[in-house]
Amino acid sequence: MSGSTTRNHLIDRRRRELLGALPGLALLALNARAAAPDATIDVPTVDRLTLHIVVDAQTFAFAEPIRRPDLVVERVGPRGNDTGPPDSTLTAEFGFSILAESRRGDATRRVLVDAGYTPAALANNLSLLGLDPATFDALVVSHGHYDHFGGLPALLSGARRLRPDTPVYVGGEEIFCARDTLVRSVQLPFGRVDREALLRAGLRVESSTEPASIADHAFSTGRIPLVTSERTVNPTLMRPGVGCDRAHLDPDKRQLTIVADDLRHEIATAWVVRNRGLVISSSCSHRGVLNAIRRAQEVSGVQHVHAIIGGFHLVWPRTGAEAVETAAALERIAPDYVIPMHCTGEPFIAEAQRRLPQRVIRPYVGSRFVFGAA
């Protein structure tokens, strides 16, 4: 068997494992529950947190603003803050990016979580929303999927770029490995996070599988153990050694050339808001939104969830039954607000709206969610 034939055979085998065995034994073995170590870190409390929806799948010019005692949602028009030319408009795409602006005493911090799919959409929306990367204190890249890092070049050059020495938080070496997508049996290259480009731009890469404090106001969960019934599902393959250093990968992946991707490196980002509780961004929830919540609770020691925001990925390869089951589990956790973005999918949203009326808030590009003190 030639080298390329062997490689193709391996890819075919991985493809069968990924597509044919769901939710079969192979992935169940992959997703064996992990005992969570005591990972509590000293997490600060912020007085107020504003989340700007920078990139998401929908814009909606007529979204209603919301003003409640514990939540304000500001909506913007199709031109954002009306800072651009008359023909400018906010762009929606299949990507995820939010800018978190937190206040603690007199100190303000801005943390960008993910960079959307395209540099054009990210740069356009940041500009129309009046958000300048030169004022950002940190960047989080939640995992190595293009819809979360594809817009990075917009932050690395030009007048509106991240300042040198801005920290970039990631959940371990795996994020830098090249990936392929595998959707409906079609396998295509899916790019990689370009570490060298980050370093050339003078940024500081902070890579850790453990929880970390971010810009003194937020924290990353580090690795997310699988402690609920949720399984990791993910339509990508990872190529160890391509873009990433094999020596820094987990031992079970070091010697492989391609492997079904278990997103072990995916991290959530969270804040503790005074008198409210946890606000958690799960980004894409490949490790499960419930697992991300459990991990944020464990790391912070704070149990009450004020808001969970993110793509909850309750679409293929997850099932409609899993979407309903997750909505029921979320009802038991009783967050004050559920903000479904990006890859969440309509079955979960419909069920969550039925179970948690008034608590499910649609995001839309440009919206600003204000949590905490007025």
Residues that bind Fe ion (CB under 5 A): 147, 284, 343
Shortest distance (Å) from residue 301 CB to Fe ion: 29
Strand pairing of 48-55 and 97-104? antiparallel
Q: Which is nearer to Fe ion, 278 or 284 (CB)?
A: 284
Asked if 270 and 219 touch (Cβ cutoff 8 Å), the reply is yes
Q: How far is the CB of 337 from Fe ion (least distance, A)?
A: 21
The answer to whether 190 touches 181, Cβ cutoff 8 Å, is yes
Of the pair 284, 315, the CB lying nearest Fe ion is at 284
β-strands 178-183, 236-239 pairing: antiparallel
How near is the Cβ of 143 to Fe ion at its closest, in Å?
Answer: 8
Complex with Fe ion: residue 203 or 341, whichever CB lies closer = 341
d(CA 37, CA 255): 27
In order of 74, 117, 153, 199, the CA distances from 194 in angstroms are: 35, 14, 10, 9
Measured in whole angstroms, the distance separating CA 109 from the mean position of its chain's CA atoms is 19
Closer by beta carbon to Fe ion, 99 or else 284: 284
115 Cβ neighbours under 8 A, 6+ residues apart:
55, 95, 97, 122, 139, 141, 148, 149, 150, 151, 152, 154, 155
**The pair of three-digit structure tokens given for residue 127, joined into one six-digit string:** 């500009």
| Rounded least distance, CB 263 to Fe ion, Å | 10
Q: How far is the CB of 144 from Fe ion (least distance, A)?
A: 11
The helix (run of H) or strand (run of E) holding residue 108 is: strand 107-113
128 vs 343, beta carbon nearer Fe ion: 343
Nearer to Fe ion, 230 or 298 (CB): 230
